[in-house]
Structure 1
């Protein structure tokens, strides 16, 4: 039922089947007449009971007129059940989310469309969509009679203050007879997913340094200076100069291939998010961990908008996108897909069971220079020393360290001691008090650029091989 997909259909004969991108499906008929009898409403059961009671009284009292009344009362709900059970409505439904990815605290609208694809008009239909309770109350709609080939459209809003991925669906249709004696429920088998990403804040432009030195293919590969066979080609991309076509490789691979050229490398940035459960105290939208997740999301958006090749790294060593890709800018669609992957990862990120940052350090140690921006929870003396060593391969490093005990109202911890260790190693390290504004801290990090601390210069603009652009 996603946008652009085929509609799902509910009828009285066939069972469920999920399709591909459109997720089409078919709702099944209730299992047998017994299930239809279970759909009797309170009114229908009351009529049935009254008819049975009247029939018994008529037999005891010998009143034939009362027996006819009892039979009428009993037959009416049973006839409603049979008529509704034999109904062969074919109704197709589709769902569209606008947008499918929404920040926490913002609303998304869900559009539902029902189409009568049968040759007979429908009766009164009651439509219900299954929605997790965190998104709001379960929406219910009453659809009046739909003519053959008719269409009805309804919509509702959903909102969540908690990030995550929430399923919407499946849709349920309730069919009712004109007398309200019986209701049957027929369900669609498909559903959609609403992704609630962390809140992001607009950050002020500052001078950041990422690694933009060297050239892409020339630095990574040693190409021979002579011999056409030693040229390393790549697949043709839209917009490539046709004069760069390498015909021998084209004939060999069966697709158009072009010679690689020296391309300036993009400035790189790694956003490190500490997710260790032992590093944070408190839960809820206003907790220190949620502040760190929101800060990482804001940083990713801000850095990516300024042309950096950015990746998200957690303490578990998980990197999104993967570290094996090219540094070439790629297409705008590729950049949007990468940003979407990182935001989806932040929407679902949770506390890890680890006690240290060793895995993240191993990833950074095997990588290349670039800007490093980290969001840490509580750091003990050992982890602070390990974080200090992470700066060795980065062009500049900024750390936002949260004293979770202060966030939880338990007093002040040892955050200043940890900041001193990081600053002596060249980090621009800032403490994050409860309710702090990330744009203000971002500006403060820029103002501390190049300030000496323990003989080492730290800052957002620490000199690299080539200076990065205004960010």
Structure 2
């Protein structure tokens, strides 16, 4: 990701004769320059009072030197181009990214001493500062620094600031570029073991469904021959009819589907920070999405508001080989900035699931009252298999809750979901998603075996 700064954003914009330009130049005087100016004025006054011409010459020299430096520095026409590159531009929370800065002198005049400063948000660390020596005509300088954030989000980097000083250190002028880049900090993604929560070994596993493109020899829907097609698939009757080589369509496998439901209701979570229950749920959703994409599933991210990522096409699912990376990027970008919703229920998510096809449903849910627990229980009937990770505020909060009733009775809501066919797991504070994932697999296997089912596929 490269962001060129405008070439004229440097030092060619000022007009030395206007009053604003004079004030700008004088405001750039450093402590040394102001001291020289004050000493020169004081020496000139003393020379006038005492009638000492030699002292007057010294005073004029001290006073004129910083003024000349400021005027020359301000009227010097430098054109400096800057660029920034992030490596990488999308990074998990808690990981570092390196920012590469490059300065190019695009004029025929060498620059003086340059002090380079990049603006970064407070959560990424202190502002990096660099001192660059004289840059020759047409030359360049490259520097880099590292940033790190434990909080997911999108953080602007820039604009870049340059400070130009004269050789004597009398004056210092600052110019800013206008371009900036964005660092995306996505949730932590934890590798998950390849369990079979959906009853399938893979996205194209043994239990897959297939949609046939032909119902019989007389119902063939052929297509034109493409380079690389097997000649054994040539359909000679259609070839003779259309006058060009035609091949039969083979049966197309239907990819197994997985919906990851993330509860973002503000009333369902308490606390904030990297160790909060909500951040655990966001990280868990990201981990499951990546895991299912790697196994060949078509996936989508669904929130309690009813919004679906990556989109509306094919019921909002994506995950074909050519679009898996794009789909994962879209969902990670969404999770990087996702926040609490103002909604109080899961009915919108239920409406989306009610109109969809069956598939694996993995839900990360916060506190549920009796009504919302019933809504969540009904979601099970619309999916082939359903796994719920329940995060109780009492277990995650630092202080015991003073709210009584079924809102915080995790055992009661667990029973409701399990009776509806969910594989429901209560997540204690600080639990590992890897262990919770394995526990869900063990509970599902035990439930299937106890009901006389087929167990693992």
Instruction: Pick from 430, 437, 453 the counterpart of residue 425 of structure 2.
Output: 430
TM-aligned CA distance change 1:217 to 1:76, over 3 Å = farther
- Distance across 1 between alignment mates of 2:394 and 2:130: 48
TM-aligned CA distance change 1:349 to 1:386, over 3 Å = same
RMSD: 3.3
Other structure's SS at 1:449 match: helix
- Distance across 2 between alignment mates of 1:153 and 1:76: 33
TM-aligned CA distance change 1:389 to 1:70, over 3 Å = same
Structure 2 residue aligned with 1:204: 193
Instruction: Pick from 121, 142, 154 the counterpart of residue 153 of structure 1.
Output: 142
Other structure's SS at 1:406 match: helix
Structure 1 residue aligned with 2:25: 36
TM-aligned CA distance change 1:298 to 1:146, over 3 Å = same
Shift of 1:148: 1.3
- Distance across 2 between alignment mates of 1:193 and 1:435: 31
Structure 1 residue aligned with 2:353: 364
Per-residue CA distance 1:191-230 (angstroms, 9 max, x = gap): 11111111111111111327975446859xx9xx8799xx
Conservation of the 8 A alpha-carbon contact between 1:40 and 1:181:
yes
TM-score with structure 2 setting the length: 0.85
Structure 2 residue aligned with 1:95: 84
Shift of 1:445: 0.9
- Distance across 1 between alignment mates of 2:128 and 2:226: 47
Number of positions where the alignment pairs a residue of Structure 1 with one of Structure 2: 428
- Distance across 1 between alignment mates of 2:80 and 2:55: 42
Describe how 1:62-461 pairs up with structure 2 within 5 A: 62-209=51-198, 214-215=209-210, 262-325=251-314, 330-332=320-322, 334-411=323-400, 413-452=408-447
Structure 1 residue aligned with 2:240: none
Per-residue CA distance 1:341-365 (angstroms, 9 max, x = gap): 1011111011111111111111111
Conservation of the 8 A alpha-carbon contact between 2:318 and 2:324:
no
TM-aligned CA distance change 1:374 to 1:113, over 3 Å = same
Gaps in structure 1 of 5+ consecutive residues: 16-29, 245-257
Conservation of the 8 A alpha-carbon contact between 2:116 and 2:160:
yes
TM-aligned CA distance change 1:113 to 1:259, over 3 Å = farther
- Distance across 2 between alignment mates of 1:171 and 1:278: 41
TM-aligned CA distance change 1:330 to 1:202, over 3 Å = closer
Conservation of the 8 A alpha-carbon contact between 1:95 and 1:113:
yes
Conservation of the 8 A alpha-carbon contact between 1:126 and 1:174:
yes
Shift of 1:167: 0.6
Which structure has greater helix proportion? 2
Conservation of the 8 A alpha-carbon contact between 1:281 and 1:405:
no
Per-residue CA distance 1:252-283 (angstroms, 9 max, x = gap): xxxxxx99764211111000000111111111
Other structure's SS at 1:264 match: strand
Conservation of the 8 A alpha-carbon contact between 1:449 and 1:458:
no
Per-residue CA distance 1:66-95 (angstroms, 9 max, x = gap): 222221111111100111011112222111
Conservation of the 8 A alpha-carbon contact between 1:98 and 1:108:
yes
Q: Which stretches of structure 1, 4 residues or more, deviate above 3 A after TM superposition?
A: 5-8, 210-219, 225-228, 236-244, 258-262, 325-332, 409-413, 450-453, 455-459
- Distance across 1 between alignment mates of 2:65 and 2:451: 88
- Distance across 2 between alignment mates of 1:238 and 1:109: 44
TM-aligned CA distance change 1:216 to 1:159, over 3 Å = farther
TM-aligned CA distance change 1:218 to 1:323, over 3 Å = farther
Conservation of the 8 A alpha-carbon contact between 1:263 and 1:328:
no
TM-aligned CA distance change 1:406 to 1:444, over 3 Å = same
Conservation of the 8 A alpha-carbon contact between 2:12 and 2:78:
no
- Distance across 2 between alignment mates of 1:458 and 1:418: 25
Other structure's SS at 2:348 match: helix
Gaps in structure 2 of 5+ consecutive residues: 235-246, 402-407
- Distance across 1 between alignment mates of 2:47 and 2:452: 98
- Distance across 1 between alignment mates of 2:195 and 2:257: 16
Other structure's SS at 1:397 match: strand
TM-aligned CA distance change 1:88 to 1:457, over 3 Å = farther
Structure 2 residue aligned with 1:254: none
Structure 1 residue aligned with 2:239: none
Shift of 1:411: 4.2
Other structure's SS at 1:448 match: helix
